Amino acid sequence: MTREIFWLMLTIILTGLMWVPYILDRIKVRGLMKALDNPSPRDKPQSGWAQRLYYAHTNAGDNLILFAPLVLILDSHNVSTDLTAAACAVYFWARLAHAIVYAAGIPVARTIAFAVGWLACAYLVLTIFRLA
């Protein structure tokens, strides 16, 4: 397994588990049966941090759709360098930071974390275009 695939797997695991805290909050706020029911406009609102984590999770999924193919394209061309591995690691840590600061309600840090992850993807795109 390349280092890039390793970081992709960690990013997939992070994104795949990000729902757990906000669902636990939903159960705490609404009770188990209401949490299992279909959403309704009459539902009690979740904690602010849980609502923000929900949006961070949605954003993480949206961006995983961009990150994963880039890593797989590099892997299909047998490209694995220190810089591509570092870009993948930076992406993972930026996404983790994004989720934490988004849930904490720190808007400027959220934007910076998002931008760092985006720049990591941009580096992977540039690397792929250099292969063509």
Structural domain boundaries in the chain = 3-36+46-131
Residue 132's pLDDT is 59
User: Which string of DSSP letters, residue by residue, matches 15-74?
Assistant: HHHTHHHHHHHHHHHH-HHHHHSPP-TTSPPPPHHHHHHHHHHHHHHHHHHHHHHHHHHH
**Whole-number Å distance between alpha carbons of 117 and 39:** 32
Instruction: Give the chain's residues under pLDDT 50.
Output: none
Look up residue 28 and give its two tokens.
């705490």
Q: Is the whole model's pTM more than 0.75, yes or no?
A: yes
Task: Identify the sign of the CA torsion 72, 77, 78, 82.
Answer: negative
Alpha-carbon gap, residue 20 to 122, rounded angstroms: 30
Name residues whose C-beta falls within 8 Å of residue 57's C-beta, 6 or more positions apart in sequence. 15, 18, 19, 22, 99
CA distance 3 to 5: 5
12-36 pLDDT, tens per residue? 999 999 999 999 999 999 999 999 9
* CATH fold of the domain at 3-36+46-131: Four Helix Bundle (Hemerythrin (Met), subunit A) (1.20.120)
